[in-house]
Each structure stands twice: as C-alpha cells, then as structure tokens.
C-alpha cells in the first residue's frame, strides 16, 4: 500500500535536546511538507520541499530544520531553539508542486511533548 | 498566516440531518480544498474545487465556491455517526505562484449523534 509513514507516534523531548521526526513516503511524490498543529487549531506550515536537495521555509520555521537528501524522506529536527515544541506534527506530500491543483496526502502524525 | 476562517467552530447534529460548514478567505486563489481529520489522526483529502468552478459533488458531499464573496461551503447530507471529525478548508493562494503551498483554516468540529 502506498502512503506516508511518520515515526515515532509519540516523542518526548528533554530540555536543551534536539529531536528528529521521521517522514517517509512511497507515493513517488516530488513535494513534501511539514505542518504543526496546536490543540483546536488549524495547520501551520513549517518547511516544504518541492524537489530533492531543495527546501524552503514556511510560516513558522524558527527553531526547526529539515533535509531532503532522498525523494522518499523528509525528516524534521526540532532544535533546542524551539521554546514551545509541544504540538502535533504532520507530514504531507503531493505529486507535483508545480501543479497547484493537487491534493496533499498526510501521515498520521507525531505528538511531541516536553518532559 | 491564517487565510481561512471557518464557521461554525463546532457543530452538533443528529444522525440523518445535513451538516453545513462555511469557509471564508482573503486573497485570490487557484483552488480551495476540504479535508477531514479524525481525532489523533492525519488529514484526509475530501474535495478540491478550482477557482473557475462553482459547485462540486462527491457522494454525500457538496462543495460550493463563490469567488466574488471569497467563501466556500461544505454540505454533508444524511450525516452518519462516522462523519464525526474536524473539517478543514485549505486555500492555494495564487499570489505565491509556487504551486501546492496551502493555507489551512482553523476547522469546524462536527459531532453527529446516533
């Protein structure tokens, strides 16, 4: 089955620690996205990548970093500079970011909490 | 930046009734999309309506788009308990000209009571 896999499902971060959230897709999609969702809120874009080895900041990139070394993978690192990291993180992909009339496909998220 | 505003924030209905959710946005768009999210899960795409379309159907779902009023509505007919979820509209603003970058509303939480 094709889809997006996020891991882990739950993650705990200690003070001053960097943590990395995994996102893998086998849909052969070019574009991938990371969103943050706070309770009762919509999604806010952290970073996105339209093609391998390229990515752009979204609306709330401070305190986060990404890489896109492979088409299938788009890991997100939450750094110690992100002072309020507790949230639900969602990864998504779409077939071709150059064509705007495409839906996004989502993983089932990672819930990050501070210890 | 949040472009979409959804109304109502929460909606509670009985099974078999229709549910209507509204979304307003601020800038011109390429398309508007509706997504569903079950509690603790990722979003699932429901319908995409392009800026030159006025109405679209998919099963029990009907979406309308009024670009002059910068608004859209999602109608779920003959609702079922399984429709209980949060529903989000998302716009693809053409001002970005970057294809695929969506801006999400804050969602409507729908509860369908059996």
Check residues B80 and A40 and name the one with the higher pLDDT. Answer: B80
Backbone angles phi, psi at B69, to 5 degrees: -100, 0
Instruction: Round to whole Å and give the CA distance between A42 and B3.
Output: 11
Question: What integer pLDDT is reported at residue A98 of this predicted model?
Answer: 74
Question: What integer pLDDT is reported at residue B1 of this predicted model?
Answer: 41
Find, among A108, A101, A89, A30, the residue nearest to B51 by Cα: A101
Sign, CA torsion A15/B40/A45/A42: negative
Q: How confident is the model at residue A33 (pLDDT cuts 50, 70, 90)?
A: very high
SS (H, E, C) chain B: CCCCEEECCEEEEECCCCEEEEEECCCCEEEEEEEEECCCCCEEEEEEEECCCCEEEECCEEEEEECCCCEEEEEECCCCHHHCEEEEEEEEECCCCCCCCCEECCCEEEEEEC
Instruction: Round to whole Å and give the CA distance between B100 and A89.
Output: 19
User: B4: nearest CA in chain A?
Assistant: A42
CB pair distance less than 8 Å for B100 and A31: yes
Asked whether the predicted pLDDT for residue B2 surpasses 60, the reply is no
Asked whether the predicted pLDDT for residue A111 surpasses 90, the reply is yes
Record the tokens describing residue B79, joined without a space: 């609702």
The answer to whether B87 contacts chain A (CB < 8 Å) is: no
Mapped onto helix, strand or coil, the DSSP state of residue B106 is coil
Residues B34-68 pLDDT 10s: 999 999 999 999 999 999 999 999 999 999 999 99
Other residues' Cβ atoms within 10 Å of the Cβ of residue A41: 15
Other residues' Cβ atoms within 10 Å of the Cβ of residue A51: 14
User: B96: nearest CA in chain A?
Assistant: A100
Residues A69-79, mean pLDDT to the nearest whole number:
97
Chain A closest-CA separation from residue B84 CA (Å)? 15
Q: How confident is the model at residue A26 (pLDDT cuts 50, 70, 90)?
A: very high
């Amino acid at each position: 089955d094709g889809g997006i896999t996020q891991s882990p499902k739950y993650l705990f971060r200690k003070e001053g620690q960097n943590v990395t959230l995994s996102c893998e897709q086998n849909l052969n999609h070019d574009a991938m996205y990371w969103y943050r969702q706070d309770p009762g809120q919509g999604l806010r874009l952290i970073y996105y990548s339209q093609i391998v080895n390229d990515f752009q900041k979204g609306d709330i990139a401070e305190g986060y970093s990404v890489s896109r070394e492979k088409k299938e993978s788009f890991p997100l690192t939450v750094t110690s500079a992100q002072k309020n990291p507790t949230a639900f993180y969602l990864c998504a992909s779409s077939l071709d970011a150059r064509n705007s009339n495409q839906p996004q496909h989502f993983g089932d998220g990672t819930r990050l909490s501070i210890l | 930046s949040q472009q979409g505003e959804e109304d109502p924030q929460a909606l509670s209905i009985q099974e078999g009734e229709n549910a209507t959710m509204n979304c307003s946005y601020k800038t011109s768009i390429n398309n508007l999309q509706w997504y569903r999210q079950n509690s603790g899960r990722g979003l699932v795409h429901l319908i995409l309506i392009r800026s030159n379309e006025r109405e679209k159907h998919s099963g029990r779902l009907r979406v309308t788009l009024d670009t002059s009023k910068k608004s859209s509505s999602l109608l779920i007919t003959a609702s079922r308990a399984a429709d209980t979820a949060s529903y989000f509209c998302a716009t693809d603003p053409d001002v970005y000209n970057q294809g695929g970058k969506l801006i999400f509303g804050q969602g409507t939480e729908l509860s369908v009571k059996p």
